[in-house]
Amino acid sequence: MFDTSTQPLLFQPLTLPNGQTIPNRIAKASMEENMADANHLPGPALLGLYRQWGDGGAGMILTGNVMVAADAVTGPGGVVLDAQQPLAPFRAWAEAGRARGARLWMQINHPGRQVYAKTNPEAIAPSALPVEMGGYSDLFTKPRAMTEHDIDRVIDQFATTAALAEKAGFDGVEIHAAHGYLLSQFLSPLTNRRTDQWGGSLENRARIVIEIVRAVRARVGAGFGVGVKLNSADFQKGGFDAKDAAAVVRLLNHEAVDLVEISGGSYESPAMHGRPQQQAKRASTRKREAYFLDFARDIVAVADMPIMVTGGIRSRATAEDALSPEDGRAGVAMVGIAQALAYAPDLPNRWKRTEDVIDVPRVEWKSSLASVATMALTKLQLQRMGRGKKPTFSAWAPWVMVRDQLRTRRLNTGYRNWLRKRGQA
């Protein structure tokens, strides 16, 4: 038998608490794809994309957002998995991603208030507080506060989607409680002003996450992975912070959680797309890559489950540093790589041979549109790979952003027509 202990830690397997083994410590982290077919199912484009990632050498592949509620999506063209959707396309998706031995986990999510008005005219949230983005605030739907029935329904929706993912052949699910989406909204005191059992103290604000973990675990087998994606911080004054993140992980220690991914930010403060420019200039090269690594090391100290860090990693050296102890603090168990794998889907295989640093294009406009443009550039690469083409580093950001907006308009129309056919519009 091949002795894996002679390999660098980055390429050694990781065994999760439930006994599932990940072939190496590199995960393809989630990105917003919006590449579903007209029925919001994984079609040829997504299968083509995931075949490339499956061939690329990552030990784990996390899908982009799969929505647990058909009438609440982070964007048009998103995949929806509920009891009304056929499972055959999801089985094909699982086969594509797992073909070379990677573990494929489905990220499951509800956007809450972070939905665009032209996509979802109605929205729910812990409290009736809209997204605040200055002159762009009107792009988002103003939410209503959730009732007890709404909360019970959302918990069941997460559990249903997880159970269906297992039936379709996925290896696990990641419950998205970061980036300002619904569960993150419950966790933050800025967006959760409730005075009932779902608001107030951190334990109350985290209650919905705990209940979803329990509901999911009750519906899936012991060998099926259950993970949680959590913000290190919201990076907003008075919001969810690093101490809160550590406290939530301590609560999750008592649940059957196999992996926690640490990220950060929201639509209002999109730290997940990189540090503010003035911060980046002061930071070392490694810290400019691994945005949330210091936070993650603090989480490792209090966590009983493996911790994965995501955020800007694009070199083997930084990935290896993240796994290694530093200043008396342990390293993380896995590294998640997102945008770099949009430009180099085979990066893990390259790293097996030698160092290779991917210079991911970033838009540095002095505007909140810079984040939107950066995302549009990334989506372009995913769409190219879905068609069997190679990524490109030469796309012009303004044109790509306009193209993405026109595509979104078309997809919005298709999404609303699809909802009407389902009787949900």
Span 61-101, pLDDT tens digits: 999 999 999 999 999 999 999 999 999 999 999 999 999 99
> What pLDDT is stored for residue 271 in this prediction?
45
DSSP-derived 3-state class of residue 225: strand
Letter for the amino acid at 380? L
Letter for the amino acid at 217? R
Asked whether the beta carbons of 158 and 68 are under 8 A apart, the reply is yes
For the chain, percent of residues with pLDDT exceeding 90: 80
> What pLDDT is stored for residue 279 in this prediction?
39
Asked whether the beta carbons of 264 and 293 are under 8 A apart, the reply is no
79-80/66-67 β-pairing: parallel
Condensed to tens digits (0 to 9), the pLDDT of residues 231-290 reads 986 666 777 889 999 999 999 999 999 999 998 765 555 544 444 333 333 344 444 566
> What pLDDT is stored for residue 15 in this prediction?
98
Mean per-residue pLDDT, 302-317: 94
More reliable by pLDDT, 270 or 185:
185
Domains present along the chain, CATH in parentheses = 4-422 (3.20.20.70)
> What pLDDT is stored for residue 277 in this prediction?
36
**Which DSSP helix (H) or strand (E) runs through 280?**
helix 277-282
Phi (first) and psi of residue 191, to 5 degrees: -110, -10
Q: Can you give the length of the chain in residues?
A: 425
Condensed to tens digits (0 to 9), the pLDDT of residues 186-196 reads 999 999 999 99
- Phi/psi region, residue 265 (left: phi>0; alpha: psi -120 to 50; beta: rest), is left
> What pLDDT is stored for residue 324 in this prediction?
96
Q: CA of 290: how far to CAs of 19, 286, 317, in Å?
A: 28, 6, 11
Sign of CA dihedral 170, 173, 176, 182: positive
Condensed to tens digits (0 to 9), the pLDDT of residues 36-60 reads 999 999 999 999 999 999 999 999 9
- 89: tokens are 């396309």
Mean per-residue pLDDT, 224-228: 98
> What pLDDT is stored for residue 409 in this prediction?
94
DSSP 125-162: ESSS-----GGGGGGBPPPEEPPHHHHHHHHHHHHHHH
> What pLDDT is stored for residue 144 in this prediction?
97
- 334: tokens are 């896995």
d(CA 269, CA 293): 18
Condensed to tens digits (0 to 9), the pLDDT of residues 336-359 reads 999 999 999 999 999 999 999 999
> What pLDDT is stored for residue 285 in this prediction?
42
> What pLDDT is stored for residue 275 in this prediction?
44
> What pLDDT is stored for residue 276 in this prediction?
38
Mean residue pLDDT of the chain comes to 91
Mean per-residue pLDDT, 135-142: 86
DSSP 281-347: HHS-HHHHH-TTHHHHHHHHTT-SS-EEEESS--SHHHHHHHHS-BTTBPPPSEEEE-HHHHH-TTH
pLDDT surpasses 70 at 303 = yes
Mean per-residue pLDDT, 397-407: 95
pLDDT surpasses 80 at 411 = yes
DSSP-derived 3-state class of residue 297: helix
Q: Within 13 A of 284's CA, how many CA atoms are on the CB side? A: 6
pLDDT surpasses 60 at 11 = yes
> What pLDDT is stored for residue 6 in this prediction?
74
Q: CA of 264: how far to CAs of 98, 154, 179, 208, in Å?
A: 28, 23, 6, 19
